[in-house]
Amino acid sequence: MRKAIILFAAMLALFTGQAMAQRCLPGMSAVEVKANMADGFYTGNSRNCGYSFGVYYSVFKGNANTWTFGGEYLQTYKPYGEKGRIPVAEFTGEVGYNLHLLSDYSQAFHLYCGVSALGGYETVNWGKSVLSDGSTLHNGDAFIYGGALTVQADFYLSDKIALTANVKERFVFGNSTGHFHTQYGVGVKFIIE
C-alpha cells in the first residue's frame, strides 16, 4: 500500500501543472516573412521562372482562423531569343482570410487553406521598351489586380516561433505578360501577443 501511495504521489508530481500550449488564440497576432520560388525552380541560369519575398501581418480569430495583410515582391523572367530573358517584377499588397483545417493535439502543427485579394504594379524590363538588340518591347508596365489561393502548414518550434511551408496559386489581371503564377516556399512566423 505504501508503494502505491508513493507511486501515486510521484505521478501527481510529474503531471500536475502541465498544460497544452496556448497558440492561435483569438486576438493574438503574428508577423511572417516568406521566400518562395515561382513558376518552377529558380537558379541564376533559369530563363522562365523566378522568386518572391513577402512580409505579412496576421490576426487570429476564433477556431484559429486568421486575417492576413501583407506585401510581396515577385520577380519572374520571360525567355527572349536564344539565351536572353526579360525581367518582369510585380509589387503587390494583399488581404486574405485563412481557414484553419486541422491541427494536432499538441498544437505543434496547423494546416490552413486561404483566399486573398491583391493589387499592385507590374513593370516589364524595368520600364525600358527597347531591348539590347534594338527590338521594341510591346508589353508595358501596368496596374494589376487579382487574387490567390493558398495552402499553408505551420510547424511551431515554440509558442512564439513557427516555420511555415506554403503553396500558392496567384492570378492577376490588367497586364499582358501572363495571368497565373504558382509559388511554393518557406517562411518564419513570429507570434506577437
Residue 10 is predicted with a pLDDT of: 60
Residue-range domain boundaries for the chain:
2-192
Asked if 50 and 35 count as a contact pair (C-beta separation under 8 A), the reply is no
The pLDDT value given to residue 17: 44
CATH classification code of 2-192: 2.40.160.20
- How far CA 158 is from CA of 30, 32, 50, 163, 191, in Å, comes to 13, 15, 32, 10, 10
User: Could you write out the DSSP letters of every residue in 20-33?
Assistant: ----S-TT-EEEEE
* Per-residue model confidence as pLDDT tens digits over 11-50: 555 544 444 457 777 778 999 999 999 887 766 666 777 8
DSSP label of 83: T
Give the containing element (helix H, strand E) for 162. Answer: strand 161-173
111: cell is 494546416
Alpha carbons 185 and 73: distance in angstroms, whole number: 14
Q: What is the pLDDT of residue 32?
A: 96
Amino acid 35 reads A
Contact 36, 52 (CB under 8 A): yes
Can you tell me the distance from the alpha carbon of 186 to that of 193, in angstroms, rounded to the nearest whole number? 23
Which parts of the chain have pLDDT scores under 70? 1, 4-5, 7-21, 42-46, 134
What's the pTM value of the predicted model, to 2 decimals? 0.80
Tell me what pLDDT residue 134 has.
Answer: 67
